[in-house]
Amino acid sequence: MIKNKKILVTGGAGFIGSNLCETLLERNNEVICLDNFLTGKEKNIKEFLENKNFRLIEGDVRNIDVCEKATNGVDYVFHQAALGSVPRSIEDPAKTNDINISGFLNILLACKKNKVKRLIYASSSSVYGDHPALPKTEENIGKPLSPYAVTKQVNELYADVFSKLYGMEIIGLRYFNVFGKKQDPDGPYAAVIPKFIKLLINGKAPVIYGNGMQSRDFTYVDNVVKANIFAAISGKNALNNVYNIACGNKITLNELYTILIDLLSKYYKNINLIKPEFAPERKGDIKESHASIKKTKELLGYTPDCDVKKGLERSINWYVHNLK
């Protein structure tokens, strides 16, 4: 594992970034968190602020000077900063483009200038777009279905070009529907699992867009943290490539709802009486998502430690004790 290194986590106050910071600090690394708190939360990193190995830079990846300062003397960069959410990108494609593409290019340039050993960046399963094949394999992507998906595909193109032109060590990780502790359940762009959990805890009916038969390869956040670290320490044969980070299974939203009701019933009586509401499907949503993780296992040595049900149990336990 990575120990005693100087590491930058962009978006380190976000959901995935803060979980990554926690694990890296546990291994005695010096961790720099770069975040502008547009979507990140101060409460996610509050416990780290007294740690002598943790430093917060409040800044924006759209500012090249900030990126150069943050990457100075750094061994590894984990680039998690992005403006997520397909619906948000449809409503505001300009801001999504600015943060996800221009910000990513700034990080690439800063890593190049400061000779960072390796950059690991967050891509997305959204790049598979309209490609019908299941399970999703890294070599077969379709046309993007949203501005967000476009930005992630452009990230992969830029990473490939920089690795070939400048000899940089870069690895992209295509996240599949990550969930877990510290994921924000509030707001119009909240992910489905934390949003459903909070509504159900409060006795309210969640809304399922479409008929609920759309499938997702839900992935617990600890698996994603592990994949990032494995990508940082992987051999040369793994470099300059993209990998699916998932569990390699799929469940429908209807199945997800049933599992959540079952797990939450241990904490709340009569929760099984709450039935979901259904609404028209949303633009830009992928119908089915199921990852092949064969390549990821072979080249990164990654296997998920936590399956969906175990991850949901851990998530519910966290939300039950942390929701206000």
For residue 4, report the phi and psi dihedrals to the nearest 5 degrees. 55, 40
Write the pLDDT tens digit of every residue in 53-63.
999 999 999 99
| Nearest Cα residue to 218 out of 137, 121, 307 | 307
Average pLDDT over residues 182-199: 90
Average pLDDT over residues 143-149: 95
Q: Which residues contact 16 (CB under 8 A, 6 or more apart)?
A: 80, 122, 175, 178, 221, 224, 225
Length of the chain: 324
pLDDT-derived band at 298, boundaries 50, 70, 90:
very high
Q: What is the pLDDT of residue 187?
A: 77
Q: What is the pLDDT of residue 286?
A: 77
Write the pLDDT tens digit of every residue in 208-221.
999 999 999 999 99
Active site residue 148: yes
CA 231 to chain CA centroid, nearest Å: 15
Q: How far is CA 118 from CA 44, 163, 172, in A?
A: 25, 10, 11
Q: Please report, in angstroms and rounded to a whole number, the separation of the first and last CA atoms in the chain.
A: 35
Q: Which residue has the tokens 């452009």?
A: 154
pLDDT-derived band at 189, boundaries 50, 70, 90:
confident
Q: What is the pLDDT of residue 324?
A: 67
Q: What is the pLDDT of residue 188?
A: 76
Q: Which residues contact 232 (CB under 8 A, 6 or more apart)?
A: 2, 76, 78, 118, 120, 171
Average pLDDT over residues 161-174: 98
Average pLDDT over residues 297-315: 96
| Nearest Cα residue to 86 out of 146, 154, 130 | 146
Write the pLDDT tens digit of every residue in 23-34.
999 999 999 999
pLDDT-derived band at 176, boundaries 50, 70, 90:
very high
Q: What is the pLDDT of residue 154?
A: 98
Number of C-beta neighbours around residue 290 at 10 A: 21
Query: How many whole angstroms separate alpha carbon 45 and alpha carbon 182?
Result: 10
DSSP per-residue letters across 144-176: -SSHHHHHHHHHHHHHHHHHHHH---EEEEEE-
| Nearest Cα residue to 222 out of 34, 7, 26 | 26
Q: List, in sequence order, every residue forming a beta bridge with 240; answer none if it has no partner.
A: none
3-state secondary structure 201-255: HCCCCCEEECCCCCEECCEEHHHHHHHHHHHHHCCHHHCCEEEEECCCCCEEHHH
Q: State the Cα angle at 177 between 324 and 227, rounded to 5°.
A: 105
Write the pLDDT tens digit of every residue in 37-48.
999 999 999 999
Q: Which residues contact 234 (CB under 8 A, 6 or more apart)?
A: 171, 299, 300, 301
Report all structural domains of the chain as residue ranges with CATH numbers, in order of start.
Answer: 6-179+219-248+291-306 (3.40.50.720)
DSSP H helical segments within the chain, as ranges?
15-26, 42-45, 64-71, 86-91, 93-97, 103-113, 147-166, 192-201, 221-233, 253-264, 294-300, 308-322
Q: How far is CA 206 from CA 185, 201, 212, 255, 269, in A?
A: 12, 11, 12, 14, 17
Q: Active-site residue among 148, 243, 257, 302?
A: 148
Write the pLDDT tens digit of every residue in 201-252.
999 999 999 999 999 999 999 999 999 999 999 999 999 999 999 999 999 9
Q: Which residue has the tokens 């870069």?
A: 170
Query: How many whole angstroms separate alpha carbon 138 and alpha carbon 309?
Result: 26
pLDDT of 117 strictly over 70 = yes
pTM, two decimal places: 0.94
